[in-house]
Amino acid sequence: MIKNRRGIALIVALGSMVLILIVAAISMYIITRGLSIASGQRTYQSAFEACEGGIELGLAEVNRAFLARTDPDTSTLNIHKFTVRVIPDPLFSMHAEGSVLKFSRGYFGVGYGMSKGGTNFYYRILAESEGAGGERVTLEVQQKKRIM
């Protein structure tokens, strides 16, 4: 009976090695896939932060243009590996009626009381960031400025 089982240990050992090799290959695939996903997320986060920097620049440009009574300028800048385009646009303006204690917020001081109207100016600020690898993020905000 022992003579019929010659070589069975070799077959079991080879089978075990193949099984261990398959498990190791699957583990390596899962680990490398997770690393590439994490790398992509990190790159996207960097693109998002560069775009946020563009929004901050756009807000500053709107403030500058509002005080100078001019239209805001479009700008392009490089932040680390990203090219960020900032496009601040004046949307429209409208007359703001004065009223008695709007929204129950109270009295803010001289010049801000009852019957004080003004003009609201609305701006759209668009920031687009693009990386060398084709990563793209677009953010848009609106800002209101008021002349009393």
Residue 125: how many CB atoms within 10 A of its CB? 22
Output the pLDDT for position 1.
52
Q: What is the pLDDT of residues 37-84, one digit of tens each?
A: 887 788 888 889 999 999 999 999 999 998 888 889 999 998 888 999
pLDDT at 89 over 70: yes
| Rounded CA separation 55/126 (Å) | 7
Q: How far apart are the first and last CA of the chain?
A: 106
Q: Residue 83's domain spans which residues? A: 2-147
pTM for this predicted structure: 0.64
Output the pLDDT for position 2.
58
String of DSSP letters for 27-50: HHHHHHHHHHHHHHHHHHHHHHHH
pLDDT at 115 over 60: no
Reported residue count of the chain is: 148
Number of compact structural domains in the chain: 1
Q: What is the pLDDT of residues 19-41, one digit of tens each?
A: 999 999 999 999 989 888 887 78
Cβ proximity of 86 and 77 under 8 Å: yes
CA angle 50, 144, 121 (to 5 degrees): 120
Q: What is the pLDDT of residues 4-15, one digit of tens each?
A: 667 788 889 999
